[in-house]
């Protein structure tokens, strides 16, 4: 049927695809995502009504060297993911995501991300710093991409082989921290 959306089977091999994704592809990963983000703190309108509802989740997998990057060198042959968007009212929004693969850590994911970013011609500067989120090791990456600051935070999830992530373009620190806090102890 022309114009029909592709439908993938998460139990089948990738069959040469770089990426496969659709809503409901990995419902167990989608369930790990927050469904709302509290207002940035401190906020005078910090009421339950001020919670921001996240966009519908999408999930899928990266299947090739082109999409896995340096994770392939670490033995990752398939990286499962789920994500949703916090529409912050600006043109960018903030993405909240979870990634899963056997042996996956925040450091491995951060290394792969920075390796890919360092090859991008528009990237002028990359910096990383370790941090702790809910008592777990994480990495904060700041990227200057075409004079726009992009911030990515990866940290270990309470679920084995799973990494939580917040990905944002030009976020205020309060919005970034609110997005991280939305994960709670997950």
Task: Read off the pLDDT band of 18 (50, 70, 90).
Answer: very high
Per-residue pLDDT tens digits for 103-141: 999 999 999 999 999 888 888 899 999 999 999 999 999
CA nearest to 142, candidates 122, 168, 116, 121? 168
Q: Please give the average per-residue pLDDT across 156-182, as a whole number.
A: 93
Start-to-end C-alpha separation, the chain:
40
More confident residue, 4 or 39: 39
Place of tokens 């940290």: 155
CA nearest to 21, candidates 99, 76, 87? 99
Whole-number CA gyration radius for the chain: 17
pLDDT score of 101 more than 90: yes
Burial class (CB in 10 A: 0-12, 13-18, 19+), 21: middle
Q: Please give the average per-residue pLDDT across 82-88, as a whole number.
A: 86
- The pLDDT assigned to 4 comes to 47
Domain ranges of the chain: 19-182
Task: Read off the pLDDT band of 3 (50, 70, 90).
Answer: very low
- The pLDDT assigned to 42 comes to 60
User: Which run of H or of E encompasses 145?
Assistant: strand 136-145
């Amino acid at each position: 049927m022309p114009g029909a959306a592709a439908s993938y089977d998460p139990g089948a091999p990738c069959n040469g695809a770089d990426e496969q994704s659709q809503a409901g592809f990995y419902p167990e990963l989608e369930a790990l995502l927050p469904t709302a983000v509290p207002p940035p703190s401190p906020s005078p309108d910090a009421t339950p009504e001020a919670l921001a509802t996240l966009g519908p989740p999408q999930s899928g997998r990266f299947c090739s060297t082109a999409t896995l990057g340096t994770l392939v060198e670490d033995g990752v042959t398939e990286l499962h993911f789920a994500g949703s968007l916090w529409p912050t009212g600006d043109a960018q929004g903030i993405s909240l995501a979870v990634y899963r693969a056997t042996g996956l850590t925040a450091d491995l994911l951060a290394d792969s991300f920075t390796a890919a970013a360092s090859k991008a011609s528009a990237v002028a500067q990359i910096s990383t710093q370790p941090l702790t989120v809910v008592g777990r090791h994480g990495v904060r990456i700041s990227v200057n991409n075409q004079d726009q600051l992009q911030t990515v935070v990866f940290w270990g999830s309470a679920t084995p082989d799973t990494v939580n992530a917040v990905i944002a373009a030009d976020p205020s620190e309060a919005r970034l921290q609110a997005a991280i806090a939305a994960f709670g102890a997950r």
